[in-house]
Structures are given as C-alpha cells and as structure tokens.
Structure 1
Amino acid sequence: MKTFLFIIGISCCQMSFCQVTCIIDTLPKNHDFKKDVYISGDFEGWSGGKEDYKLTKSNNYYHITISKLRETINFKFTLGSWDFSECDLNSNPIENRVHTFSNSLDTIHLKIANWTNGTSKINRSTASKNVHVLAEHFKIPQLNRKRKISVYLPPNYETSNKKYPVLYMHDGQNVFDLATSYAGEWEVDETLNKLSEEKGLNLIVVATNHGNEKRISEYSPWHNPKYGEAEGDAYLEFIVNTLKPKIDKIFRTKKSVKNTAIMGSSMGGLISHYAGLKYPKVFSKVGVFSPSFWYSDESFLYTEKHANLKHVKMYYLVGGKEGEEMVENVEKMGNIMKMNKFPKNNICTKIVPNGTHSESFWKSEFENAILWLFN
C-alpha cells in the first residue's frame, strides 16, 4: 500500500459555518492518479459518479467541498461508476462510510484498501433459480426511459395453480443478486425461499432497477432545489398503471389491494411511504426502511393530509447509527400518522440501535418486516 493524502472539505452554513475534512491517507499501491475520483452517497442519489461530485486533483491528492444539507451523510468513493468503487482487499463490497456533522471543524482519517476494476467484482450471479428477468429494457412511458425488471416467483409456482400476493421493490440491482449490486444485496430470494418452506409464506416480488443519476429524482415526489426535478409521481404512475397491469396479466397474481405491497430503503423508503398514502386502493402493505424524510418537509405536510386510512399497514425501520436525525424523523412521522387517525395497530416502528444505512442492515430486517406485513 502507498500512502497519499486526499482532502475533502464538506462545509455548511446553518446559522454558522461548519466543515469536516476527510483525509484519505492510504490508497492501493497501484492507484492511478490519472483517474478521477468521485464521492457518491445518499446526498446525491448514490449515482456512482456525478460530475458535480468529482474531486479536484492537486498533485498527489484530490479534494472537494460540498454543502451540508443534513446531520448525517452516508457515502463511498468511486472512480466514476459502481463498477470501479472502493472495496476491501479481497474485492468484496464494504459498508457505507458515515459522517455525522457535530463541531464546526471536524477531521476524519480514511483509508481505501482497494478498487473494484469491473472484472474483480463478483461476476457469478447469486440470484436463486426462481428469479427471472422479465425485461432488460422495460419501457417507462411516463418518464420516456427504460429499466430492467426482475421477478421472483415462489418455489411452488411452477407446480401449482395458485395465485400469489405481490411485493413491488425499488433499487432492483440490490434485491436479489450480488453480481449486480453496488453495496451488497438484500437476499430477498433466499429469505423468501426459506419462509416458503418454514412458514408457507409465498409471494411474487417485482424489482425495478433504479436509474443511476436519475434515482434521487425518480424516488422523490417533491422538488428540491439542491437535487432537481421531482419525478416520483411519474415513477409511481408507471408502477401502478403500467407495470402492475403487465405483471397481473403475465403471472398468477392476487390483484386486490389487500394482496399488494411496496417496499424500499432510503429514497426508496420515502417513495414507498408516499405510495401507501397516495395509492391506498392499490397498496395495503408498505415497508419503509431508513426513509429519507430529510429530503423534504413536504413529506410531513402531505402525511398530515392523507393519513386517515383504515386498511393500510406501514412498517418503519431505522438504525441508531444512521444519525439522530433519521431516528427523530421516523418517530415524528409515526406520531403524525397516529394524530391524523391512522390506526395505531397498523403501524410498526422498529429502531435498531446498531443499525446502519446499508444493504446488510436491510437484509437482516427484511424477514421480520415481511412477516409483520403479511401476518
């Protein structure tokens, strides 16, 4: 390993000036300083490498200054895409980096052990044999874009004539397969195969890939001047009016609202929460993991006006290590729901003290959430 210095200044103006300096003082000995380095995280949609977040090169180090928009940020470094991102020495994904802003001047020391190089990333699919690709380029007419759609079918689907409930999920790259993920996978297929055998719970799961640099816009119903246009309504219209009818036509599904669920994490948690409120006649079960309620105060105002629902179940999950702000926002949202006539028995809020903003955390909690929602 060679030692170099990367300096990243993250500054903010919230009544007073504050700054955190991240010093990456160890890099792989084969690091190529001709390559650009990017910071990517929940504050920019996990794009993998937006031009606005490219570090400036100065001799043998890189630096960038970005504004603080929230208490805690989760991030990683890349060389421009998730195919070329930081990893451990064995080229395995690492947990997200986390920084909570505290003092006006903070400094943290960081190390990059290795970079994935496209070929070092796992290229053998870990998806179960009952996970299928519905389409590599499924058209989203509402956004004039295309996305990969993957479908999990229960183990007994091919040997029965039964119809099944359906769960719709976002960030499809991370749902079933380590080979397509950029931060680990949820192992939804392995978990549901186990639940099928042990508890007789059988679901169809439909996972839509996110849109990389479009992700944060597509998963937000509200405009944010820092992040751009809100496309969440169009994205949900696609799921409700285009994707669901197609799934119901091709597969043996239980089409009713009581048999239709939606689930996601981070910005995917935000859009899932919104979907439960906007489309209560479509989704009756909603999994809201580590939701990005910080993105817009409109999420609280909208909930106040639309929380009076009787048959929708909401499961909220947040980790104590995601930042105090995240926990407070989930608790605040739960209180707003109850104060506006959402049935208390239809809300489950789980706060895990050691939980982090990561696929590994969401994977570990998926089983509990799905059993509560489909109980």
Structure 2
Amino acid sequence: MTKNKILLFLCGFFLIISCKIAPVKVEKQLLKTENNNSTKSANVSILKKEFIVEGLNNIAHKVWVYLPPNYHSTSKKYPVIYMHDAQNLFDVTTAAYGKEWGVDETLNQLYKNTGKGFIVVGVENGGDKRIEEYTPWTHPKYGGGKGAIYIDFLVKELKPYIDKNFRTKTKAKHTAIVGSSLGGLISFYGGLKYPDIFGKIGALSTSFWFSKKVNNFAKENGNQKKIKLYLLIGGDEGYTMLPDTQKMEKLLIKTGFPIKNLKTKIVPKGQHNETFWNAEFLDTITYLYNL
C-alpha cells in the first residue's frame, strides 16, 4: 500500500471515529433564559420552538428540557421523562404557588451520586385551560374533556421532535410519563392508552374523582403486562383522594395489572402541593427505573 493510500485510509478512519463520539449539538433547539431570581439549574432550557396544538385552544405551549450534566461531553443516549405543568417543575419564579418540584436539583444530585442521567421534557400547561388539557372526560361543574388531544400531541408530535433532536432512548421501557393532580390523571390515561410509547407511569396525587369514566377506562385498558405504575397519595390531601387511589389500585389488580409492576405509596402527612411532590420525586423515579 502506498504512503498516500495509507494516509488516506488513516484520515478516513479517524473521521469515522470522531463522528461516532462527537456529541450532538442542541444549541439551535434551545433558548437560554436569563432571570436573576431564577432557581433553575444551568442544564435546564426552553425549546425555541413553541407548539400550537390543533383543537387545543390555539395556545402556544412552551416546552422545557432538562439535560443530564454530562450530556454535552458524551455521545450516550438517555431515557426520557415526559412531565406536565412545566412552569412548576424547575423554577420558583414561574411556579404557580411559589414552590417548585426541584426536578433539576434532584436529578443533578442523583447523577452525582450514581452516574444515572435522564432527559426531562416538561410541557407548560395552558393556564386557565389547564383543566381542559389534562382531563380526557368532562365534569358537570368544571368542564374539561380535551385530554385525548393533548396526549395525542405528546405521542404524535412532541416525542418524535424530541427523539429527532436529542439523544434519546426511544423505546417504551425507557420512556415515562409523570404528573400530579390532574397531571397525574392525564399521565395515568396517556400511559394506559399508549403502552407502546410510555412504559412507565408516575401518577402522583391523582384526581381520580374528576370523572367516574376513569373506572371503565381502567377496566378496558388496565390489563397491561409491561407497564410499571407508581401511585402516590398523601393522607392530608382532602376530597376522596386517598380512598379513590386505593380503589383504583384494587381495580387494576382485579383487571389483570401485575402486582409486581404496581406500587402505591401512602404518605400519612402528605399534602396536595409542590412541596410534597418535590420530596417524593426521587422515590417515584427510583421505582419506575429500578435505581
């Protein structure tokens, strides 16, 4: 082999290797926000692209993205957690009630302790249209009922966009949907409706009271063999939250949902707020991903 051919071969070889290890550049997709009072971590950004969902009130939905601390220094792919109420997940300055979940701080500490990394995709709610977005059925007093449109948007538009632009593990076993209150209801609904997309469901403080139709839905869709489901409820949440969650657990087991894939955690003093969900987020992820 001539020197020129050897040189050409080596150049080609190192070019291929460098392409394999070079991290994907995501700066074009992300908008860096500046706020002196912000509590979000540096590895949380907002997508430049906003999504207007057809049939969902013509509201532009911002999407927040948390990337693991080592995302830009590796070519690894990561599991993805889809969440709702993005305003409340990372930043106290955008949180509705002055408290946030602290998702970024929790996952940054988890990475520091274990080396485990996740991508989190948080979709902002539509403000006063939140009830419509997070409820698959209507309520005689509160209305609602556009949750199916919202879930279809996550599955058919948002997830393909995220998978195209970020290094994700795309299979259901790596993909979770997590939310609280009505966000828990829509997570429960979306996970059971699309088990081939969401293999893990975190339904925290779930508003099962919103519609009795959730029971028939669970009977029809609850016989899932591969989904993992984490139900969290606090003893001080009021309404019928605790008994409703316990009844849903029994209904799912009766329907055929494997006990080994279902965990219900009851926290006696837990209340219906971000402080509670902040404290319980790590346990939720720990169970769903076998950490």
Rounded Cα–Cα distance in structure 2 between residues aligned with 1:194 and 1:227: 39
Q: Is the 8 A contact 2:131 2:144 kept in 1?
A: no
The question of 1:154 aligning with 2:68 is answered yes
* Structure 1: tracts of 5 or more residues without a match: 1-121
Give yes or no for the alignment of 1:170 onto 2:84: yes
Structure 1 position 133 matched with structure 2 position 133:
no
Which of 106, 111, 114 in structure 2 is aligned with 1:196?
A: 111
Runs of 4+, deviation exceeding 3 Å: none
Superposed CA deviations along residues 136-162 of structure 1, whole A, max 9, x for unmatched, are 733223523311110000000000000
The answer to whether the aligner puts 1:124 opposite 2:37 as a matched pair is yes
Residue of structure 2 in register with 1:351 after alignment:
266
Residue 179, structure 1, aligned to residue 108, structure 2: no
Instruction: Name which structure has the greater RCO, CA cutoff 8 Å, separation 6+.
Output: 2
Give the direction of change, closer, same or farther, for the CA distance of 1:336–1:237 in structure 2 (3 Å limit): same
What is the CA distance between 1:348 and its match in structure 2? 0.6
Report the TM-score when normalising by structure 1. Answer: 0.66
AA aligned opposite 2:63: I
Partner SS state of residue 65, structure 2: strand
Spell out the pairing of 1:189-228 with structure 2 (5 A cutoff): 189-228=104-143
Structure 1 pair 188/136, CA: closer, same or farther in 2 (3 Å)?
same
Shift of 1:213: 0.9
Structure 2: how far apart are the matches of 1:200 and 1:286? 23
Q: Which runs of 5+ in 2 are unaligned?
A: 1-34
1:244 offset after TM fit, Å? 0.3
Deviations 1:257-277 (A, max 9, x none): 111100000000000001111
Matched letter for residue 117 of structure 2: N
Supply the distance in 2 between the matched residues of 1:320 and 1:363 (Cα, whole angstroms): 16
Q: How many residues get paired?
A: 254
How far apart are 1:224 and its partner, in Å? 1.7
Q: Tell me the amino acid that sits aligned with residue 276 of structure 2.
A: F
- List aligned pairs for 1:79-118, cutoff 5 A: none
Greater share of helix? 2
Contact 2:270 / 2:276 at 8 angstroms: preserved in 1?
yes
Identity %: 50
Find the residue that maps to 2:277 and give its secondary structure: helix
Counterparts of 1:52-91 in structure 2, within 5 Å, are none
Aligned equivalents of 1:252, 1:233: Cα separation in 2 = 27
Q: By percentage of residues, which structure has more strand?
A: 1
TM-score (norm 2): 0.85
How far did residue 280 of structure 1 move? Answer: 0.3
Is contact 1:142–1:237 with CA below 8 Å preserved after alignment? no
Match of 1:313 in 2: 228
